[in-house]
Each structure stands twice: as C-alpha cells, then as structure tokens.
Chain A
Amino acid sequence: MVEPGGEEERPLLDSAQNDCPPRKALPPLCDPRRLAHRLLVLALMCFLGFGSYFCYDNPAALQTQVQRDMKVNTATFMALYAWYSWPNVVLCFFGGFLIDRVFGIRLGTIIFSSFVCVGQVIFAMGALFNTFWLMEAGRFVFGIGGESLAVAQNTYAVSWFKGKELNLVFGLQLSMARIGSTVNMNIMGWIYSRVQDLLGSTGHSTLGFTLMIGGVTCIFSLSCALFLAYLDKRAEKILCKEQGKTGEVIKLTDVKDFSLSLWLIFIICVCYYAAVFPFIGLGKVFFIEKFKFSSQEASAINSIVYIISAPMSPVFGFLVDKLGRNIIWVMFAIVATLASHIMLAFTFWNPWIAMCILGVAYSLLACALWPMVAFVVPEHQLGTAYGFMQSIQNLGLAIIAIAAGTILDSRGYLFLEVFFSACVCLSLIAVVMLYFVNHLTGGDLNWSAKKREKLQKLAAAEAEKREKLRRQKEDDLVKLQPKNDFSLRNRYLSKLGAQLPDNYSSYLSALAHRSVLK
C-alpha cells in the first residue's frame, strides 16, 4: 500500500499495519482495493446526493401548483427557498466540524440523509394538511441536512479516491446533481397530473401526495448512505484506513485578515448567484406567461441551465486550468449573463437562446471563480474563507428569494428581470474593481497559466534551495518536524496558484462546499 501523502506523512513506525488481519482473497466487487468495488462505491456516492438535489427544486417545478393549492402569493412561495437557506447561513461553518469531530463521516452522512428525508416528509405533510407553515418547517429541516450532506458526500469522495480519480469523481458527482435537478424539473409536473387523475381533483392533498412521491428519492438516498456506511466500515477493517475527514479548520477571527480581493470575490459570488437561482425558482411561470410556453416546455427550458452545465463544467474547468486569466473569464461569464437577462427582459426573442447563454456563462463562472479564492487566501484560512463565502451566499439567496417574490407580485417580471440585471451589474462592478485592484497590487489572479507555470518552477527551485539551506542549518529540527516543510512549500505553491497533484492540493477541503461549486 502506497501512502498518498508521501514520505513526510508516513508514520515513523508502521504500527497500524501490524494490527491488520491477514488479507484473504475477495471477489473483485467486494474487494475495496479493486476498481470494480470502487465503482460500486462511486455509484452509491453519486446517488447519495440525488434525493436532496431532486427535492431542492421541487417548489420551482410545481410553482403554479403550490401557489394555487396552498393559496399563497409569490413572496410567501419564495420563502420556501429562503427557509432552506437560513440554517445554512450558520451551518456551513460547522458542517466540517460536525463530520470530523462529532459524528464521523459515516454517522454524519446517515444523520444528514435522515434530515433530508424527514424534512421532505414534513414538507409533504404540510401540503397534505394544508398548513403552509409546516411546509416551511419542512424546508428548514431539509436545509439542515441538504448542504451538510453535500459536504459529507465530497468527504467520502476524497477518502476513497484521493490521489486516484478524484477530479473525475467530483465531476461525476456534480453531473449527478444536475441530473437530479433536471429530472425533478421535468417529471414533477407529470407526477402531479397523474396524482390528479387518480384523486380526481387538484388541491392540497394532490400536492401532498406528489411531494411524498418525490420524497421516495430521499429514502433511496438514505439507503445509499446506510449501505455506503457499511462498505466504508468494512473497508476500514480490511484496509486499516482512517475514517475520511474534511480536514477543514474554521477560525472566525480570520475574517479580519481577509484581503480586499477576497471581499470582492464574495460580492461577485453573492450577487451572481442571487440573479441565477431565484430566477430559476420563478422561471417557469415567466416562460408560460411571457412566451406562451406550455407547462412542459417551460419546465424543459427552466432546467436547461442545469443540463448545459453538466457536460460543460469539466470542459471549462480544463480550459481555465490551461489558460489561466481567471478574472477575464469571470468577467466574460458575468457579461454573458447580463446579456441573457437583458434579452429575457427586453425582447421576445426565443428564450432558448438566452437560457443557453445563461447555462454556458454559469458553468464558466463556477469554474473560474472558485479557484480564485485559493489564490488570495493562505492555506490555513481556506476553510474559513469558503465557509464564510457559503454563509453569505446563503444569506444573500434567502433575502433575494423573498425580495424577488415580493417584486414579482407587485411589479411583474420586467421589473424583476431589471432587478436581477442590476444584481449582475453589481457583480460586474466588483469584478472590474477586482481586475484593477489585482493589477495595481500586482496580484496573480489574472496571470496566464504559462506565466504561473514559469513562476511555479522558479518558486519551487527557490523553495528547494531554501529547504536545503534550512536542512543544513537545522538538521535536527527538520527531522523532528518533517511536516513543516511540506506544508510550507505547499502553502507557497498554492499561493502562486500552482497546479498541485491532488494529494498535495491545499484546497481539497474547499471542494467540499457545494454551493460555491454549483
């Protein structure tokens, strides 16, 4: 067994290995060391998040039905999304902590999956009993589980695939999330109409049964969590590996050390996503009313953003990695998004054009924006930075969701689109400022990949030199603290935005944050 951490991380005494029972021969599907088994685990991991992604956008898929059956206005309807976000304003600081210190990954995953399940059931009960506050409570419970489950899901991925197929695994998990959302958008309306045929009328009980059926996906995901926990436990015994950890450290006092660039990145993130997710949440009725789409067509076009980003995210990720110049990409994505919102607001052009542009821009932004955080924050603050980013993003989403509902009720879609465009403009202002701040302070955000590589080599050589020097100087000390050098170099390289191998990567923990990656 080769330790991915390299020499420095290997324990001095191979004591752990000595406790291992002798390995017997296992069939490939059951042997944790074999690819076939890991593929099984991968499938389980992907379906682990399916339920939560499927149910997250249930309200958007059933907007007209929810508003009609529960007799609520749009602002109240959008509160369903806000209630999902509220717990995460706080929880995203603790998700990693809960998994690492309190529950452990296995129990944590099961608990979060249960929260998702229970939340969805409460949500459906609220509809069955015609009590809207119960539906909101359901979304709150659902929110407690949902975001943390994504952190757990990614932690599993790291623990099983670290140093192997990790990027692919992350890609697949994201695609699975998209598929969950898309399937939801296109199937919930159909399920509703079938239930309506069965019960003979529309009404809150029809809605309740439909949501209960949607909740089956959550049960499915929970059973994946249970099975995965069993397999992980078994693998731990066989391979003598440790339970996976997010390894993230949150220190709120770090906030005062955040640079201007980081704050600008936060603004971009909050304003941009605020103009995308609430729009998708309210989009269906927009396409029906303004563009005379049928209900099914409207669902299809509303999910196109997710459909596009499933295959495009890996492509753009690769492209941005190769070309660098992150700020330019982000700027381009924001301008494209602005154009698409303006198109939707001020023209009757075929909305497929605007929505496809939005889908592409959204995928590009996700790939170019999130790695920037790793460039402007020292490694030890990354966890805090991503936690903070996710927290204010959730706060922004919750507030904007309610605001968007209120605006729609009182001033209509044109004004709402203008409002979203203004949000995108705000993030455009932030990115323009980021460009100049970066330019004036000589930051590395906008370097091309070539330049980064060159500087990385230079820095690596320099680090090597310094390392040698230090070793000569303090030979004994180095032996006592072998990790010190590694982390120092690692931190230095990551600050340069160097492409590190997966197992060296300082921002792996950051990958555990779903919303930022969305």
Chain B
Amino acid sequence: MSKIKPSKGAPYARILGVGGYRPTRVVPNEVILETIDSSDEWIRSRSGIETRHWAGPEETVAAMSVEAAGKAIADAGISAEQVGAVVVSTVSHFSQTPAVATEIADKLGTDKAAAFDISAGCAGFGYGLTLAKGMVVEGSAEYVLVIGVERLSDLTDLEDRATAFLFGDGAGAVVVGPSKEPAIGPTVWGSEGDKSETIKQTIPWDRFHFGDRSGLPVDSQGNIKFPAITQEGQAVFRWAVFEMAKVAQQALDAAGISADDLDVFIPHQANVRIIDSMVKTLKLPEHVTVARDIRTTGNTSAASIPLAMERLLATGEAKSGDTALVIGFGAGLVYAATVVTLP
C-alpha cells in the first residue's frame, strides 16, 4: 500500500487580527416607531437598543465583508495573498449560489484562497472560528479569514412590534493563524433541532415565490410580506440565559479557565437583558469587561461577536492578550462557545 504524506500544520492557532464594518446610516428608535405602536422606553427596557446601523444599496454583504476583512488583515500584519481560506457566515446573502465567500476572496486580492459560506445563524462566528482553528492546526491553510456578515434589515418585518427594533446590519472579521501557545480553547458547540420553531424565517423562499400564496401574512398595504425572521421571545430568552450559561461554563471548564481568570465576556449581542442575565447566572466577577455593543449596533447575528470584539479593543475597554469567553447562540437552535486570547 502506498504511504500518503501527512499535512503539516501549526502547533496551535490564534486570532491575529480583527476588523469591523458598520453601515453609515444610523437608525434611532424614533424611525422604528414610525411602523410599530411602541415607545423608545419600551424598546430600550426590553432590548437595550438605542440605535442600529442599516445598510444602504451599496453596502452589500460582499462590500461590507471586504471592508471588515481588509481591516482584520491589516490588523494581523499579513497580506491578502497569505490568506489560504475564507469562511463566511451569513443568513442574509440572497444569491443562493455561488457562495459570497468567493467574491470576497477575489475582491480582497487573495491568491485563489479556498472560500465557502456556512449557515449557523447567530452561532456562525464560533462555528467559523472552530473550522479555521482546525485548518490552521491541520495545515490546509496558514491563515484563515472568518467573516460574520448580515443585512438583517432585509429580513425584518417593520410592522412586527416584537422584532422590528431588534436587528441591525454589519460585518465583523478575524484572521486566524499559527501560534506557539494555545490561544483558542476547545469549542463547546451543538444543535437542538427540536427547537427549530423558536427562531425562524416566517415563510420559505419557494412558498413566497411559487407556491400557494393563500394564507400568507400581508402588510398594512395588503401586500404579501417579504420573508422575515421571527422568534418566540420568552422561549428564546429562557434558553439563551439558562441553557447557554451552562454551555459558557462548559467552555470555561474545557479551557481550564476560571471566571476569576477571565478578562472579557463577549456573548452574541442578542438582547442586553439576555446579556445581563447571563452575567448574573454565570456569577462573573466585577472585573470582567462585558460587551454591550448591542446598544448602538442592534442584533447583527453572526457579525455581532467580532464587531463587539473590535469595538472593545478600539475603545481600550479590552486589550491585546486579554482572555475572553465568546459564545454565540441562535436559530437552529445552534450554539458555540470557546475561550480565546484577544489579538
């Protein structure tokens, strides 16, 4: 039998650089209140959100990704030609094929980097990070770009008072590369497909375009509503706070890190109430910096963790070398948590 030469990777992987892109249009709660019967106070108390960014026509999924990834590449101190793979997590790129990752890899000027999209909702960043770590350690790519990008404003029902205020647009990216020391801990991840109804798209694309259109929800103008993301608020809140706190604790345990060792906590920016309750349930000490980027960014699904990471580092609330617990959770239901050293 012929002997196959094994691939040779790095001993460990780390996040080397981070970058973010937030659309130029800032949308305050007053704009949301034009289409729902609610109040600024109600939106802030239920979600913590004061403003969010909505993308304009030029700020496509690809364009926002290229901006964020370019910054991450510069922050990592490498060149685009050194990127061996581009992993993009998104649920709001409306061209089914080809994967948007290929366009992004080309526009960035990579040298034919492997490129593909993944669908893991709000856990997408953690899923991508886990794949990237594997590629670097296994040796199929020396540097991997992980991008979380969403235009959730396109999937928002502006007449639904439970979700109209919630979502935002943007892109966050990291470069994962070789490390002499462990700097990305074991991932605790999984799925709970039995709870797929708790966060979902209102109607599938085929039914919207081709199927029997009777009985589909209509807007105040009588038009069939474009598909949107809907959720069961209380069920999601309970799962996110209490089940995800257990997953977060498992990720700390797997990395051999105690809450006292932790510098930063970057949960998916779903809702400030979920974040606050998770902090309480996890009994995180006062010295741990907690990301609350949701206040001015909204819920940007797969983009939220790298965007929050970038902002904490930019404002000096967190610093390079800090130990951070990251956890993403959302539609699926899916989740992924790990401990990382910040770039």
The answer to whether A binds B is no
Interface residues of chain A, those whose CB is within 8 Å of chain B, are none
Interface residues of chain B, those whose CB is within 8 Å of chain A, are none
